[in-house]
Amino acid sequence: MLGRFIEQGGDGALSGPEVVLAHDFGTTGNKATLFTPEGELLAAHYLPYSTEYPKPGWVEQDPDDWKRAFVSSTKAVLEKGGIRPEELVAVTFSAHMLGCIPMGKDGSVLRKKAILWPDHRSEEQARVIEERIGWEDFYHRTGGGLELALYPAAKLLWLKENEPELYRRTYVFLGTKDLLVHWLTGRFVTDYSDASNTGLLDLARRRWAEDYLEVLGLDRGKLPEEILPSDEVVGRISREAAKETGLAPGTPVVLGGGDVPCAAVGAGVVSEGTAYNYIGSASWTAVAGTKGVFDPGMRPFTLCHLVPGMYVSQLATYSAGVVHEWFKEHICVAETRDAKRQGISPYELMDGAVAGSPPGANGLIFLPYMRPGGAPFHDLDARAALLGLELRHTRADVLRAVLEGISLNIGLVCNALEKGAGKPFKEIRAIGGGAKSRVWLGILTSVLGKRVTTLTSSQEANCLGAAMTAYVALGRYEGFEQAAAGMITVGEQIDPDPASVSVYESLIPLFRRAYKQIAPIHMELGHLNE
């Protein structure tokens, strides 16, 4: 039986149960998982937490909710898996990025509500960055292709200007996972993946861009002093944290990384030119490489990968599963009720309805931008629209149009990233909640015109990627490619339907044109009540 500390054999390999506790702090909740070195998921437990929208463009969460979710989900997943805290060889993290949590020197969180990644209150400060640095320089230096207002660089400026006393008192600003790592170990650190998504890291040199900080009037001392590899044991569970969490004191804590590169590792995207698509509330497509993908027009953003010396270039669209969920909650009330009675997911019944409509949804086009921003248009004024609706159309047509609209948007994103990478992707690995829908993946593979491959761990890729990072850190695997070979199992391979491919090839230019024609109207609507 494993004690509180790592036991190693003569060759440095772990001995004992070797179970890793990996947490993924997402936008809507936290998932705790237990993994073995073979990639077997012993147990998982998900706990939601609330998000607040106090003003237009503001998105906040309470960091105390993250801690409560960690404690409760850890306890639940250990019970489900039949694992005692003393049997864990490590704790590690994946988490949402682009946050900036003000911390006191004593480890206290100085702002009750954390500013979350989609928050774009700092649009005025983003203009300051563009004026003082220039967008092209910022993009090629930091890899930051998202709207400037989303980056901690702009959010820190907003805090300095609008909450100056808070800014003055802040000892260090941390990201989500880094806050949790500090809570467990007492260390103020970050990893290269999270640092590379602040808008303040020199991507090529992998260090803070001192000249940017100076020209923006931001304090270097308020950023983490140490930027470390993701696969590093940064400390052990302190006695105080052990009392709060129920974990064993001395348990190693592996730093982990941001959700995007963690998902890449969990999808097996750890070598040159491999790619994946994630469909959750948002969707992103990402490719791994020794160089980033830079395209000032489409603006893929590039992060430091968890894999040493590599990068992950990504394009994200914010309107994906969240749109599907909205239709479930507001339009598919009957399906939700019937599914509850049958003990199945409402999405199964919705997928069944979609199957009753042909590719092209009988002439409907859905623009999915219910949550604006992101690729391919980077338009914060964008809105959703259903075009071509007639009395002859059915609920099935509308539901198919929704999935097709989201998929067509993903298709534009994927094609742009593929073009920037310089060579076609052989396949796209699908992960996230959307990967559970065979109907949706059938649409997506025909939109993309290439094979889509699922994984047995498609729903747990972020957690699996974090767990793989821990096993690399502990010496169980020599590197990430070896970990991918040992821990990832391919599920289903779905190939395009030629007839559907033809339909979607005709729809793509119409979809793009529809957005461009309607965009000015959406901009006026968005500012109507100002």
DSSP track, 504-516: HHHHHHHHHHHHH
Which of 199, 226, 255 is the endpoint of a domain?
A: 255
* Closest-CA residue to 443 (of 480, 473, 404, 406): 404
**In a shared domain, residues 211 and 340:** no
Prior bond of 424 cis (ω within 30°): no
Residues 167 and 31 in one domain: yes
Do 111 and 236 have their domain in common?
Answer: yes
- The answer to whether residue 134 sits within a structural domain is yes
**Shared domain check, 233 and 148:** yes
Q: Quick check: is 469 in a domain?
A: no
Q: What is the pLDDT of residue 8?
A: 43
Among 58, 169, 172, 74, smallest CA distance to 117 is for 58
- The token duo for 477 is 């695997």
User: 358 and 211, same structural domain?
Assistant: no
Are residues 104 and 218 both part of a single domain? yes
Strand partners, 286: 276, 314
- Please state the φ and ψ torsions of residue 268, each to the nearest 5 degrees: 80, 15
**479 in a structural domain:** no
Nearest to 474 by CA among 78, 94, 17: 17
Residue 15's pLDDT is what? 52
- In this structure, is residue 197 part of a structural domain? yes
419 belongs to a structural domain: no
List the alpha helices (DSSP H) in 355-497. Answer: 395-421, 438-448, 461-473, 480-487
Q: How far is CA 530 from the centre of its chain?
A: 32
Strands 207-208 and 201-202: antiparallel
Number of domains in the chain: 2
Answer for the pair 392, 370: CB distance below 8 angstroms, yes or no. Answer: no
Dihedral angle of Cα 235, 240, 243, 244, to the nearest 10 degrees: -90
In a domain, 359, yes or no: yes
| Residue ranges, the chain, pLDDT below 70 | 1-16, 529-530
Does 245 lie in the same domain as 134? yes
- 94 shares its domain with 186: yes
Residues 76 and 219 in one domain: yes
334-374 pLDDT, tens digit each: 999 999 999 999 999 999 999 999 999 999 999 999 998 88
Same domain, 223 and 339: no
Boundary-marking domain end, from 255, 287, 303: 255
Domain with residue 158: its CATH number is 3.30.420.40
pLDDT tens by residue, 400-414: 999 999 999 999 999
* pLDDT of amino acid 7: 44
Among candidate residues 202, 232, 255, the one where a domain is terminated: 255
Residue 161, domain member (yes or no): yes
Domain extent, residue 399, equals 321-412+498-525
Q: What are phi and psi of 144, to 5 degrees?
A: -80, 100
**141 and 225 assigned to the same domain:** yes
- DSSP, collapsed to helix, strand or coil, labels residue 111 as coil
Say what the pLDDT of residue 109 is.
98
Instruction: For residue 93, give Cα distances in angstroms to 257, 463, 487.
Output: 6, 7, 17
Same domain for 94 and 231, yes or no, is yes
Q: How distant, in Å, are the alpha carbons of 318, 367, 511, 528 from that of 518?
A: 19, 10, 11, 15
**Does residue 508 lie within any of the structural domains?**
yes
**Which pair of tokens denotes residue 266?**
């969990």
pTM: 0.86
**φ and ψ at residue 20, rounded to 5 degrees:** -105, 135
Angstrom distance (rounded) from CA 26 to CA 30: 6
Q: Which residues face 108 on adjacent strands?
A: none
Looking at residue 453, its pLDDT comes to: 96
